[in-house]
Structure 1
Amino acid sequence: MDATIYHNPRCSTSRKTLDKLKEAGIEPTVVKYLDTPPSRAELKRMIEAAGIPVSKAVRKREALYSELKLDGASDDQLLDAMAANPILIERPFVVTDKGVRLARPIESVDDII
């Protein structure tokens, strides 16, 4: 199975999700999204494919979220902010042949692996 994880090695949820994929026999492509962020269009496609609102895909606990005054921002404004500042992207996103999930909770990837 082809799989990609948009990964931050400093995030415990991201590390646990990567471990879960490997335990399932999947050796995913690992994209360190802070170094190689998805484009705005890729990000929008992943969020739509995951079936979640844009507001769920943004890290509201990041100081930058407050600094940029994103509370109450539109989907387009949030996507622009995440594309320009990948630290604002919630993690990890997992993409497989069966679909896309934001692994929060980690078990949400079970139906695509």
Structure 2
Amino acid sequence: MINIYHNPRCKKSREGLSILEDSGQDFKIIKYLDDIPSQKDLKSIVKKLGIKPIDLIRKQEKIWKENFKTKDLSDSEIINALHDFPKLIERPIVINGEKAIIGRPPEDIKGIL
């Protein structure tokens, strides 16, 4: 099953969702601002993406700049920040089995379908 971590207010996320809809494949929409991923889920997402937790952060978000930017955070602390402030999570994230991608640009999503 394909999952998309989606924020309906985000243009890139809506474009990514459109790509999935056009693919004709079954998928599940996870509105991660309402259905916040657990720390375990976030660790799994990071592992599937093949990135460090810091690379999943939206560094231009006000929350990041005001609360975290100047701190030297461990991976675990970053995961906790992502859980506590899901608005910091890059989007959209599409997971297909053990493969995952951040859809920036959204066309990159086609590579794991």
Assess same fold via TM > 0.5.
yes
Percent of aligned pairs with the same amino acid:
36
Q: How far did residue 19 of structure 1 move?
A: 0.3
Equivalences, count: 112
Call closer, same or farther: CA 1:98–1:79 in 2, change over 3 Å: closer
Q: How far did residue 98 of structure 1 move?
A: 5.5
Matching of residues 1-113 of structure 1 within 5 Å: 2-71=1-70, 72-97=72-97, 99-113=99-113
The answer (yes or no) to whether the contact 1:70–1:78 under 8 Å persists in 2 is no
The answer (yes or no) to whether the contact 1:97–1:112 under 8 Å persists in 2 is no
TM-score between both structures, scaled by the size of structure 1: 0.90
CA RMSD of aligned residues (A): 1.4
Structure 2 Cα separation of the partners of residues 82 and 96 of structure 1: 21
Structure 1 residue runs of 5 or longer lacking an equivalent are none
**Partner SS state of residue 100, structure 2:** strand
Range moving further from structure 2, 99-108 or 5-14: 99-108
Structure 2 residue runs of 5 or longer lacking an equivalent are none
The answer (yes or no) to whether the contact 1:8–1:14 under 8 Å persists in 2 is yes
